[in-house]
DNA sequence: GTGTTTGTTATCAA
DNA sequence: CTTGATAACAAACA
């Protein structure tokens, strides 16, 4: 389940591996995964350069040059947007590792067998590197977009972005000020706060000692502050650890994230709370598996 | 065959 | 009109 820290890890790695490279070929293996036809993808992408890899929430944004030159034209398709949803993976193999099968890496993916049965599309770069988009459940997508479309999409769907200057205690409080949702549902809502998913919401609420079923208006200002600090702390720590692998996530080199061993509650229903040693509960809130400590969290 | 997993959106009710 | 609750999607696993 790639959330903000996992997508950020991939973004950073891809910045090193594909920025300033030219796209030599495009293959769309699963048409449903792509916003346009395979022919349109090839026509638009082949020959362009990757200018930047950025991110908004869980959305990966690849900025394209207008042609071979390092120019971003303001008209036409300027972006390749990639959303990994639940089981999406982006695996980059340079020419050497493709031939060697990636054996030198501590990899969870059998890179010598790429593309595999879950590969939905891939890009070939001018240096022989291949970027594979794998997605077992086919929820993820590749979308070509103009600047106008991207701006509208972000405006419509994404609230403040953690770890940026816009994410202050004030903007956090403001985002939550007009909702009566349960706090778990509110934190999962990308329009209120961008980037958190089921794992980090449970972790953040445990850290802030707040029960997931609490209604947002019932949360006191000092609790909101603890929650704000918990979001910043846990997201930063998870990025440092290159994300969490619970079932499916791997980084662009096919490796697991290291934050899994720091999870306090997610996936630990029935185990002891690390703080008070009473059993952790597992329930369903907002339609999602929810893990919390009934003693520590009020 | 049944239930469970989740990011996001569609659908419906209030 | 808005807000919120829930179903649906897809595919694999226990």
Q: Which domains are delineated in chain A?
A: 4-157 (3.20.190.10), 169-292 (1.10.8.50)
**β-pairing, A130-135 with A88-93?**
antiparallel
Q: Which residues touch strand B (CB under 7 A)?
A: A 1-3, 57-59, 83, 85-86, 139, 157, 188, 190, 197-199, 282, 284, 287-289
Tell me which protein residue sits closest to nucleotide C6, measuring alpha carbon to C1'. Answer: A287
Active site residues of A: 2-3, 58, 288
Q: Which residue has the tokens 């590749």?
A: A142
Task: Please name the nucleotide lying closest to A179, CA to C1'.
Answer: C3
* CB-to-strand C contacts below 7 angstroms: A 86, 117, 136-139, 178-182, 185, 286-287
pLDDT at A95: 84
- Tokens describing residue A53: 């890899």
Q: How far is the CA of A245 from the C1' of B10 (A)?
A: 30
User: Which residue's CA is nearest to the C1' of nucleotide C7?
Assistant: A287
User: How far in angstroms lies nucleotide C11's C1' from the CA of residue A269?
Assistant: 25
**Which residues, including other chains, have CB under 8 Å from residue A276's CB and lie 6 or more apart?**
A293, A295, A296
Residue A267 CA, nucleotide B5 C1', distance (Å) = 11
Q: What are the beta bridge partners of residue A287?
A: none
Instruction: Point out the nucleotide closest to A287 (alpha carbon to C1′).
Output: C6
Per-residue pLDDT of chain A (298 residues; tens, 9 = 90+): 899 999 999 999 999 999 999 999 999 999 989 999 999 999 999 999 999 999 999 999 999 998 666 666 667 899 999 999 999 999 999 988 776 554 444 566 777 778 999 999 999 999 999 999 999 989 999 999 999 999 999 999 999 999 999 999 999 999 999 999 999 999 999 999 999 999 999 999 999 999 999 999 999 999 999 999 999 999 999 999 999 988 889 999 999 999 999 999 999 999 999 999 999 999 999 999 999 999 999 9
Nucleotide nearest to A286 (CA to C1'): C5
For residue A115, whether the previous peptide bond is cis, meaning omega lies within 30 degrees of 0, is yes
């Amino acid at each position: 389940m790639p959330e903000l820290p996992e997508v950020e890890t991939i973004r950073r790695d891809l910045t090193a591996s594909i920025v300033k490279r030219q796209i030599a070929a495009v293959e769309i293996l699963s048409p449903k995964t792509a916003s346009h036809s395979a022919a349109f993808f090839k026509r638009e992408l082949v020959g362009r350069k990757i200018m930047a890899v950025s991110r908004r929430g869980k959305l990966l944004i690849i900025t394209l040059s207008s042609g071979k030159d390092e120019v971003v034209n303001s008209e036409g398709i300027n972006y390749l947007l990639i959303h990994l949803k639940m089981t999406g993976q982006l695996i980059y193999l340079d020419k050497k590792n493709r031939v060697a099968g990636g054996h030198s890496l501590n990899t969870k993916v059998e890179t010598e067998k790429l593309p595999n049965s879950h590969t939905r599309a891939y890009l070939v770069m001018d240096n022989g590197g291949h970027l594979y988009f794998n997605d077992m459940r086919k929820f993820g997508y590749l979308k070509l977009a103009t600047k106008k479309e991207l701006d509208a999409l972000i405006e419509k769907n994404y609230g403040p972005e953690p770890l940026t200057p816009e994410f202050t205690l004030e903007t956090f409080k403001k985002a939550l000020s007009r909702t009566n949702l349960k706090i778990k549902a509110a934190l999962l809502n990308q329009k209120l706060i961008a980037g958190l998913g089921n794992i980090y919401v449970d972790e953040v609420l445990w850290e802030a000692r707040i029960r997931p079923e609490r209604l947002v208006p019932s949360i006191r200002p000092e609790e909101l502050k603890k929650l704000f600090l918990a979001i910043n702390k846990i997201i930063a720590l998870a990025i440092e650890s290159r994300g969490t692998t619970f079932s499916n996530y791997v980084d662009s080199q096919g490796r697991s994230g290291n934050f899994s061993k720091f999870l306090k509650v997610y996936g630990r229903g029935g185990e002891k709370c690390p703080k008070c040693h009473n059993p952790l509960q597992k329930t369903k809130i907002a339609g999602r598996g929810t893990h919390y400590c009934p003693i520590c969290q009020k």
